């Protein structure tokens, strides 16, 4: 399986998210390389690292969507849960001594690219707008107080 080349259409225009997506893609490429070269121990470690980082990333994204009042928050969270649940099943099988990287690689590759270009790109415009209007209002105690009563 080929590596994922980071192309501009993978950027969604939110710095913290793009940075995390780039990290996930680079972990994926390392995992794929280790698998291709038969480095089983390295691949197993990278799979764990990648899954842990994906769990962190999905939680970060969900916080961001919630704070921004994204209307499709629940659907996005569900989409994460479906991916993370499958990752956790793979992780559990790996913990039980099975080499699952061969099937994890195509699954991770497909879900990574389609989720970033699909669901993540879909919330980006909404969140960017919400961040811009938040900046205009300022971040002082008064605007924080106003947000509480919205």
Residues in 67-106 that interact with Fe ion by CB under 5 A? none
Residues in 108-127 that interact with Fe ion by CB under 5 A? 120
Q: How far is the CB of 99 from Fe ion (least distance, A)?
A: 27
Tokens of 38: 């038969």
Residue 53 near residue 84, CB atoms below 8 Å: no
- Please say whether the dihedral angle defined by the alpha carbons of residues 65, 28, 3 and 111, taken in this order, is positive or negative: negative
SS3 label, residue 150: coil
Q: How far is the CB of 54 from Fe ion (least distance, A)?
A: 9
Minimum CB distance to Fe ion smaller for 94 or for 120? 120
Q: Does 25 bind Fe ion (CB under 5 A)?
A: no
CA distance 29 to 124: 25
User: How many binding residues for Fe ion (CB under 5 A)?
Assistant: 2
Q: How far is the CB of 48 from Fe ion (least distance, A)?
A: 19
Minimum CB distance to Fe ion smaller for 120 or for 127? 120
Q: Exposed, middle or buried: residue 106 (CB in 10 Å: 0-12, 13-18, 19+)?
A: exposed
Pattern of binders to Fe ion over 50-69, x per CB under 5 A? -----------x--------
CA distance 59 to 70: 15
Tokens of 96: 């039980």
Minimum CB distance to Fe ion smaller for 104 or for 120? 120
Q: Which residues are near Fe ion by CB under 5 A? A: 61, 120
């Amino acid at each position: 399986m080929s590596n994922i080349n980071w192309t501009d259409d993978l950027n969604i225009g939110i710095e913290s998210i793009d940075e995390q997506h780039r990290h996930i893609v680079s972990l994926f490429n390392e995992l794929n390389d280790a698998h291709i070269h038969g480095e089983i121990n390295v691949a197993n470690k990278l799979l764990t690292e990648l899954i842990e980082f994906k769990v962190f990333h999905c939680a970060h994204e969900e916080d961001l969507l919630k704070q921004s009042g994204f209307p499709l928050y629940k659907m996005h969270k569900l989409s994460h849960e479906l991916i993370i649940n499958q990752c956790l099943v793979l992780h559990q099988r790996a913990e039980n001594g099975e080499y699952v990287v061969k099937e994890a690689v195509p699954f991770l590759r497909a879900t990574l690219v389609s989720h970033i270009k699909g669901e993540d790109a879909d919330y980006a415009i909404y969140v960017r707008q919400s961040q811009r209007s938040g900046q205009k209002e300022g971040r002082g105690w008064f605007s924080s107080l106003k947000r509480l009563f919205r």
